[in-house]
Every structure is written in C-alpha cells, then in structure tokens.
Amino acid sequence: MQPSDPRIVSSNRPPNRRTAFLAARKKQEINPTVQRQVAAIKAKHTLGLPLLDQIQTQSSTVTHVQLHPKQIILGIVASTSFIAGLLAAIEQSMLIASASGLCFLLSATWLGLTRRHNRQTSSTQSTSVALFTVANIIAFDGAIAALYGTREKVEQPPHDSELQHKLDKLKSILLSIKAQFVRIHQLTAKSDAQEVLSYDDQFYLNACLQRYLPDSLESYLRVPPATRLTHAVQGEQTALDLLLHQLHLLHTEIDQREQALTKNAAEQLMRQQRFLEEKSRSSR
C-alpha cells in the first residue's frame, strides 16, 4: 500500500540515519577582498614589509618641514599687527586699529601665498626625484602576495631536501630583489644621482616592478600546483627551475644599475677627499 502523503516514507525495516542520504553542503566561496588580504599577510610574514611600506618609511624619515626666514618675519608682523589692532580697538583709536587691521590682512595673505608656493615647489621636487612610481611598486607587491597567497598544500612542506633548497632559494632571491629596490631608492633620493642612470636604465627598473617580475610569477602560478615543482616542462627543468633562472637574470640586471649608483656616490666622496687634501696642502 502506497502512502498518499509524499512526505511520509514507509519501509519494512527501521531507517538507518547514519547511512541515509544527506544533501551535499555548498562550499562557501571566500570573498576576493579577503583572499587578497590573507595573501598580503602571508607575503608579509614570509618576506617582511611590502616594498611600498619600506620606501614610504625611508621617505618619511628624510622629509622634514623647513621654515624660511620670510615666513618667520611675516608671522611676526601678522601677530604684532593683530595685537596692536586689538589694543587700539580697546582704546577706541580707530585710525591705529584700521592701520593694524590692514597690515594684519596683508601679512596674513602674503604668508598664505608664500606657504602655498613652498608646498607646490616641494611637491614638484619630490615628484621629480622619485624614481619608482607608486603604481609599479603596488604591482610588484601584488605579484609577491599572489605567489605566497595561492601556494597549495602540495608545496608545504616538501619531503625532498633538494626541493626545499630551491624553495628557500626562491625566498632568498625575492628578498634580495626587494632589498635592491630599497637601496636604489635611497641612492636616487637626490636628483643628481638619477643623472647617472640613463633613460633606458630607469625604464628597465620600473618595468621590472610593473611587468617583468610580476609576469614571471604569474606565468609560474599558471602551471598546476601538482606539477610545477617536480614535473619537467623544458628539458629537465621544472617550472620552479625556470622561475629561479628568470629571477636570477632580473637580479643581475638590477645589480648592475645599483653598482653604477654606488660608484657615483663613492666618486663624490673621493672628490671631496681630494678637495680637502688640496686645501690642507695649500694651508701649510
């Protein structure tokens, strides 16, 4: 006899809840923003602060506020005029109060225009001195975050000591490249240092941040995680071997530009030494 209500199940044996069919639970997808944040945290834990944070920290330690003598004098004149006008108003001396008010207004206006001009000048100088653009640095940090944010469990931890050595080498060379860019930023903090690098060299360094290194990491991540470490993709080289070779090429080229900047800084020091030695001989 079939039950009339479809919600009722009839059986000649007791139901087994342990083996009964259970609807498969839908796997909840992680928000892409959360994924990027987790990837950035993993990259920071592995390779330290992002390059953008390191460069901004270096720039903030160098930047300081300068007060020009003209601004100090205008500030004193404006303050004196305001106090004189206030006292004249109390004494009901309209002529002195009007003159003090006019002097205060002119001084305050001139002071405001002077400060605005100085801010525009300093911002223009800082923009011209900066070698790396913020967008390129963000692209560099994003590529590294993607590398350490999407690593599969198959890569952690490897059982092969040689494979572990390669992964350690990958971490080491990425740290070294990041340190290179920080040092180059320090060496190019002055505009005359940038003159040592040709336009092609400056373009190459920015292209490394924006395209060359991110493209290498992105191409590496396109290889399936189960095969990128152990399966040969070109001759006997795995995807990890190819990535290490490409990063080594970038590291070598960046090092050549850094050496040119370092040599320029040393030449300035030697030039100063020769100047002091010449002055010392002439004073004898």
Structure confidence at residue 65 (pLDDT): 46
Structure confidence at residue 85 (pLDDT): 64
Quote the pTM value: 0.62
Structure confidence at residue 41 (pLDDT): 79
The model's pLDDT over 175-201, given as tens digits with 9 standing for 90+, comes to 999 999 999 998 887 656 667 888 899
Q: In sequence order, which residues have a C-beta less than 8 Å from that of residue 250 and are 6 or more positions away?
A: 177, 208, 212, 213, 216
Does a cis peptide bond (omega within 30 degrees of 0) precede residue 224? Answer: no
Structure confidence at residue 4 (pLDDT): 59
In three-state secondary structure terms, 232 is strand
Of 141, 151, 124, the C-alpha closest to 178 is 141
Structure confidence at residue 125 (pLDDT): 42
Structure confidence at residue 37 (pLDDT): 73
Alpha carbons 189 and 204: distance in angstroms, whole number: 18
The model's pLDDT over 108-158, given as tens digits with 9 standing for 90+, comes to 676 676 766 666 555 444 443 478 899 999 999 999 988 887 654 445 555
Tokens representing residue 37 in the block: 């944040």
Structure confidence at residue 99 (pLDDT): 67
CB 206, CB 132: distance < 8 Å: yes
Strands (E), 121-266: 232-234, 237-238
Structure confidence at residue 214 (pLDDT): 96
Ranges under pLDDT 70 in the chain: 1-28, 30, 35-36, 39, 58-71, 74-75, 77-79, 81-82, 84-104, 106-108, 110-111, 113, 115-129, 150-159, 190-194, 284
